[in-house]
Amino acid sequence: ILGVIYLVYLGIRMLLDKSNAAFQAPEVDKLNIRKVYAQGILTSLTNPKVSLFFLSFLPQFIDTQTSGPIPFLILGLTFTTTGLLWCLFVAYFSSYVTNKLRGNQKIGMVLNKITGVIFIGMGIKLLQTKAPN
């Protein structure tokens, strides 16, 4: 019940909010690239889904009669290259869209209203769920 009340409160607050402060870009001091890179590497290395993917999916495409690491290296490089291209596309596209949206205050107000309605809807949906016995 407390979660429902909180979600509905947030939704109503967003609907009634006349300011556009939540849509402004946060102040960023100096970005530490090494720290961000190390955090990304740590996240990828500790993600079990990545290991399970490589252990279960990729060996299906390797001929068991061939010996050596060359087929695995080729598949790994192919995966890395396509992943890099896709992530670069997503990053640049997201940056472009973010800059366009932040420049338009009316879109910010509309997005806040839509988010408020979604929060209220999630609160109502949460209220309709039954608690386990």
For 42-61, the pLDDT digits (tens) are 888 888 887 788 778 777 77
| Predicted local confidence at residue 29, as pLDDT | 55
Mean pLDDT computed over 25-52: 77
pLDDT single digits (tens) 59-117: 777 776 766 778 778 888 888 899 899 999 999 999 898 888 877 778 888 888 999 99
Tell me the domain boundaries of the chain: 2-61+68-128
Q: Which residues contact 14 (CB under 8 A, 6 or more apart)?
A: 112, 113, 115, 116, 119
